Amino acid sequence: MKILPKILTDTWWGNILLGFLSAVIFYYVILSTVLSSNTPVVAVVSGSMVHDESVENDHYGWLEKDLGYNKAYIDSWPTSNGFNIGDMPVVQGQEKYQIGDVIVYSVEGINAPIIHRIIKINDDGTYQTKGDNNSGQLNYEFNVKAEQMKGKVIFIIPKIGYFKVLINRVFGV
């Protein structure tokens, strides 16, 4: 008994279509459900979380000066070493988020998801975020609401997101 029509399995374009449909189902149905996130994987397309020579000043120095956090506390956070352009974080939805969590969230008017670290929880329950490699915060980082959240980065697949980076740089998507 054949489940799939012969045209999908016996033609090159049918195989491509079948592969594409399988990937879409895997991403949007299986991964999204298992990880409780409508954005279960993302590609890092900016350097805001890169830990390079500026990390001492822009990350540790800024957090100590502005929030009073010491280096040992900061190093105890998940994903304490940041990540690089082209890495692919895997994201899981959470009931609660904590200071130090690296999260993915959406901002109106920005077409790419933002991947930054929670640095403070406001009294009203909103979150403040900052990229580890950024020298300060942008306006949209002071009041991130729970409904903007896609989830928390639970692990990173290195370098596999370079295709997305290339598409982003060529087409601005």
CATH number of the domain at 55, please.
2.10.109.10
Q: Is the pLDDT of residue 63 over 50?
A: yes
pTM: 0.82
Report the alpha-carbon distance of residue 163 to residue 173 in Å, rounded.
12
Residues 99 and 29 in one domain: no
The predicted-structure confidence for 85-141, as pLDDT tens digits, reads as follows: 999 999 999 999 999 999 999 999 998 899 999 999 999 999 999 999 999 999 999
Select from 144, 126, 114, 120 the least CA-distant residue to 63. Answer: 120
Residues 46 and 102 in one domain: yes
Residues 12 and 80 in one domain: no
Residues 9 and 45 in one domain: no
Total domain count, the chain: 2
> Which residue range(s) make up the domain with 26?
1-35
Distance from the first to the final alpha carbon of the chain? 43
User: What's the pLDDT at 2?
Assistant: 65
Residues 22 and 102 in one domain: no
Residues 87 and 25 in one domain: no
Select from 79, 44, 56, 74 the least CA-distant residue to 135. Answer: 56
Q: Is the pLDDT of residue 11 over 80?
A: no
Residues 153 and 119 in one domain: yes
Residues 47 and 5 in one domain: no
Residues 3 and 80 in one domain: no
Residues 9 and 69 in one domain: no
Residues 30 and 53 in one domain: no
Q: What are phi and psi of 162, to 5 degrees?
A: -60, -30
Task: Give kind and range of the element (H or E) at residue 92.
Answer: strand 88-92
